[in-house]
Amino acid sequence: MRERTRAKVSVTVQRSLLRAVDAYVERHQGADRSKVFDEALLDWYAKRQEEELFEFYSTPEKLTPEQAAEYAAWAAIRGAAAERVFRRPDSRDA
């Protein structure tokens, strides 16, 4: 017997939200509740990852020495690239 690649869950949502989902599904061929909830969960997960990255890089005291060195190296690379891009035309090397 083949194992399911998707898990079946049961959730409780506000009726108005479910009505909005159902209205969307009715108007969009190929859509179903599962796909709408998948997309919503993917958006939620992406936001959590962004928050984690922000937290990680906004608190340098939590970085290991290796991570801090890598972060500093990338900051130097970004700075050098920005300097090249935004240098005044008359100061560019010919």
Q: For 1-22, write each residue's pLDDT tens digit.
A: 777 788 999 999 999 999 999 9
The total of other beta-carbon atoms located within 10 Å of residue 33's CB is 12
| Token output for 88 | 């005044």
| pTM of the predicted structure, to 2 decimals | 0.59
34: nearest Cα among 56, 3, 8, 61 = 8
Query: For the chain, what are the domain ranges?
Result: 15-87
Q: For 26-65, write each residue's pLDDT tens digit.
A: 999 999 999 999 999 999 999 999 999 888 778 777 788 8
